């Protein structure tokens, strides 16, 4: 029995039952699409099935990951994490200054918020956590041993937030539509993982030598000596690099698949983590991992919070149903994109430093497309592919065949290309993805 069935079926408290039954289903996002229709206009064979994400239009994320804009201090994230009047706490990847935009940062932010709460809460208190993503689950896990009542309110009809393992009988593995990759030496426990360690950089003319991170490191070091912050793209140009050069352009596209932003949007003073050459990829159901973290916390799904009123005596939350419910304190873990779009009203409004931080940080974009083949058309054992040259939207691919035995390719696109890719109609998005794979069709297959 799943956690949700347990709540509805066994009645885990009047509040849960009431909310689940009264709240209209939110739009099912991200939208998954399957497209077995043949596409004749590319030399890459059509897949047996495809599925893609739509985080850009998701009302409960409004983008993929936060990034640090030009001129913004990384300490801005610490400002956002400051509790307000000891009643409203914040967590989520955007509040973590060390590993923003990552699963690691989300978990760490939840642990930090829980630590702050521990210093304040008294036995018997009722704490609300808004959002059942990694940060919210980490808060619940870290408060589990206290004599308090923790209620997690989640807008979607599932847990996980920007982790989304889509389970489907047509697919041999959970399709990871959100975060699933961690650094090779990252000790975050995401259940079963596979090693993705071999890269292939390929242009239409064949394999090429990777550019490597050296131009980025040189540009960042030079920019960090300047009196004012500049864009990473500007820093590259100033140090003699050409962001349009195909090898560097492919590297920057790769960077955008993790930062969510393009080089002309990113701060050179506080750049994102630079591209890595090796990863581990989670191949299990990350929803189950989140449920385990949530433990015995009371969870109510399909319950978007629309307003948070707070004062000396506690907090009152208004839900999508129009109903209000009271708690002693609240931890807000909703994505930065939701805060930026006024997805939740605060009464009184948040202090200026918090509002300033929300508006100063950027919300970037990442989308993914999974392709399943009956037979592989490729013959390389490399697991991380980079399409060099051309103006393809999807330039980064993960080949899961060597490490799982399944004919699966995963395309990842970030930055403005991700926004455009998300806007494409299903057939156009698939065609665009397939065209970017042309360099990986063996030459004997293309004649």
Q: Which spans of this chain sit near ligand FAD (rule: CB under 6 A)?
A: 53, 55, 60-61, 64-65, 92-93, 101-104, 106, 130-136, 153-156, 161-163, 178-182, 304-305, 333-335, 338, 343-344, 366, 368
Give min distance, CB of 383 to ligand FAD, in A: 14
The residue (of 257 and 439) whose beta carbon lies closer to ligand FAD is 257
Measured between alpha carbons, how far is 371 from 52 in angstroms, rounded to an integer? 9
The CB-side HSE value for 406 (13 A sphere, CA atoms) comes to: 19
Counting beta carbons within 10 angstroms of the beta carbon of residue 421, is it exposed (0 to 12), middle (13 to 18) or buried (19 or more)? buried
Smallest distance, Å, CB 269 to ligand FAD? 22
Pick the closer one to ligand FAD by CB: 109 or 241: 109
Shortest Å distance, C-beta 209 to ligand FAD:
25
Minimal distance, residue 375 CB to ligand FAD, in Å? 27
CA 361 to centroid of chain Cα atoms: 16
- 3-state SS assignment for residue 57: helix
- In the complex with ligand FAD, the residue whose CB is nearer, 55 or 310, is 55
Distance, CA of 167 to CA of 172 (rounded, Å): 9
**CB closer to ligand FAD, 156 vs 354:** 156
**How many helices (H) and strands (E) are present in the chain, helices listed first?**
15, 23
Q: Which one, 344 or 431, has the nearer CB to ligand FAD? A: 344
Give me the least distance between CB of 130 and ligand FAD, in Å please.
5
Nearer Cβ to ligand FAD, position 135 or 236?
Answer: 135
**397 touches 373 (CB < 8 A):** no
Helix, strand, coil shares, percent, the chain, to 5: 30, 20, 45
Q: Least distance in Å: CB of 317 to ligand FAD?
A: 9
Q: What are phi and psi of 146, to 5 degrees?
A: -90, 155
Between the alpha carbon of residue 430 and those of residues 50, 117, 245, 295, 392, the distances in Å are: 8, 47, 26, 39, 12
Q: How far is the CB of 156 from ligand FAD (least distance, A)?
A: 4
Which of 135/148 has CB closer to ligand FAD?
135
Nearer to ligand FAD, 84 or 334 (CB): 334
Q: Are the C-beta atoms of residues 63 and 363 closer than 8 Å to each other?
A: yes
Q: Minimum distance between the CB of residue 441 and ligand FAD, rounded to whole angstroms?
A: 26
Angle at 338 between CA 281 and CA 311, to 5 degrees: 120
DSSP E strands in 227-356: the ranges are: 279-282, 298-300, 305-311, 314-319, 324-327, 329-332, 345-347
Instruction: Tell me the C-alpha to C-alpha distance, in Å, between residue 277 and each of 179, 195, 197, 389.
Output: 17, 11, 7, 20
């Amino acid at each position: 029995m799943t956690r949700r069935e347990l709540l509805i079926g066994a009645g885990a408290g009047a509040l849960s039952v009431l909310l689940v039954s009264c709240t209209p289903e939110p739009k099912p996002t991200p939208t998954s699409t399957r497209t077995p229709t043949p596409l004749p206009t590319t030399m890459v064979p059509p897949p047996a099935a495809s599925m893609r994400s739509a985080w850009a239009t998701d009302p409960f994320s409004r983008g993929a990951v936060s990034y640090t804009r030009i001129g913004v201090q990384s300490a801005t994230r610490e400002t956002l994490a400051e509790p307000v009047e000891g009643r409203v706490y914040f967590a989520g990847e955007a509040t973590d200054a060390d590993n923003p935009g990552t699963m690691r940062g989300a978990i760490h932010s939840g642990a930090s918020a829980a630590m702050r709460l521990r210093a304040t809460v008294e036995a018997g208190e009722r704490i609300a956590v808004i959002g059942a993503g990694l940060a919210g689950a980490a808060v619940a896990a870290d408060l589990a041993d206290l004599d308090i009542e923790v209620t997690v309110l989640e807008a979607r009809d599932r847990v996980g937030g920007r982790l989304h393992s889509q389970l489907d009988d047509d697919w041999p593995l959970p399709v990871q539509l959100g975060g699933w990759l961690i650094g090779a030496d990252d000790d975050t426990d995401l259940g079963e993982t596979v090693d993705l360690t071999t890269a292939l950089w390929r242009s239409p003319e064949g394999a090429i030598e990777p550019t490597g991170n050296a131009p980025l490191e040189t540009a960042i070091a030079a920019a960090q000596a300047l009196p004012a912050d500049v864009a990473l793209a500007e820093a590259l140009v100033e140090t003699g690099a050409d962001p349009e050069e195909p090898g560097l352009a492919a590297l920057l596209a790769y960077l955008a698949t993790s930062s969510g932003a393009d080089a002309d949007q990113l701060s050179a003073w506080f750049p994102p983590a630079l591209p890595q050459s090796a990863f581990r990829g989670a191949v299990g159901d990350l929803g189950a991992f989140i449920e385990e973290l949530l433990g015995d916390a009371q969870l109510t799904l399909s319950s978007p919070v629309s307003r948070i009123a707070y004062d000396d005596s506690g907090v009152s939350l208004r839900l999508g149903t129009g109903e209000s419910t009271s708690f002693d304190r609240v931890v807000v873990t909703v994505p930065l994109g939701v805060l930026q779009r006024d997805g939740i009203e605060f009464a009184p409004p948040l202090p200026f430093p918090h509002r300033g931080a929300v508006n100063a940080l950027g919300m970037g974009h990442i989308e993914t497309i999974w392709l399943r083949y009956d037979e592989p058309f490729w013959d390389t054992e490399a697991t991380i592919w980079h399409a060099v040259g051309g103006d393809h939207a999807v330039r980064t691919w993960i080949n899961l065949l060597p490490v799982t035995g399944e004919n699966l390719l995963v395309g990842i696109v970030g930055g403005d290309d991700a926004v455009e890719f998300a806007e494409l109609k299903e057939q156009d998005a698939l065609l665009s993805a397939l065209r970017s794979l042309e360099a990986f069709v063996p030459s004997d297959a293309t004649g």
